[in-house]
């Protein structure tokens, strides 16, 4: 009986190890990959970074809406959506367009790149600004309580934003591991 039990555990362990990548890809999907690849490349972003933002923001649910009325895959607020649409020259933009996966990813990638340019490619600052607001990040960088050098943050005062930055970075590493060829 003990032998059969150990054999069963061994077989189940082998099956699990063989299928671990498949299971992980189920938990960390790469939906809308064509749009992610296209707009990430267009805006000089790592597609796995964009996927990590989407996973964190909406878990790839295109109809996701937050309490603050952020919409779609990348959880873009109507105010940010209108601002991005204006900057991108999207004349017929409607708030409902944020629920369209392609439009949401296109605008979200543009916005991430805009933040990337503002914060000199520091992706921690990009994530902090995406979640906590660019104005807050600019203010924190000028405050020695939050930034020792004015170029990076050693302390993020918003707990939600601090957790967000750490979570996206962890998920980014998972996406890189799972999907890099």
Q: Which residue numbers are catalytic?
A: 57
Look at the alpha carbons of 100, 111, 91, 106 in this order and tell me if their dihedral is positive or negative. Answer: negative
> What does 34-91 look like in DSSP terms, one character per residue?
HHHHHHHHHTT--HHHHHHHHHHHHTT-TT-B-TT--BTTTTB-HHHHHHHHHHHT-T
């Amino acid at each position: 009986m003990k032998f059969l039990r150990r054999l069963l555990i061994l077989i189940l362990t082998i099956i699990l190890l063989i299928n671990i990548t498949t299971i992980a890809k189920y938990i960390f999907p790469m939906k809308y990959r064509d749009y992610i690849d296209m707009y990430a490349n267009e805006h000089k972003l790592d597609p796995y970074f964009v996927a990590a933002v989407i996973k964190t923001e909406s878990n790839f649910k295109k109809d996701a809406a937050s309490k603050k009325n952020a919409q779609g895959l990348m959880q873009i607020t109507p105010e940010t959506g209108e601002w991005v649409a204006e900057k991108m020259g999207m004349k017929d933009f409607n708030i409902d367009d944020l629920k369209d996966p392609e439009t949401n990813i296109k605008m979200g990638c543009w916005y991430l790149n805009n933040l990337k340019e503002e914060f000199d490619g520091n992706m921690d600052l990009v994530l902090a600004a995406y979640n906590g607001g660019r104005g807050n990040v600019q203010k924190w960088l000028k405050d020695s309580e939050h930034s020792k050098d004015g170029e990076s943050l050693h302390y993020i005062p918003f707990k939600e934003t601090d957790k967000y930055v750490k979570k996206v970075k962890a998920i980014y590493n998972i996406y890189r591991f799972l999907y890099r060829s």
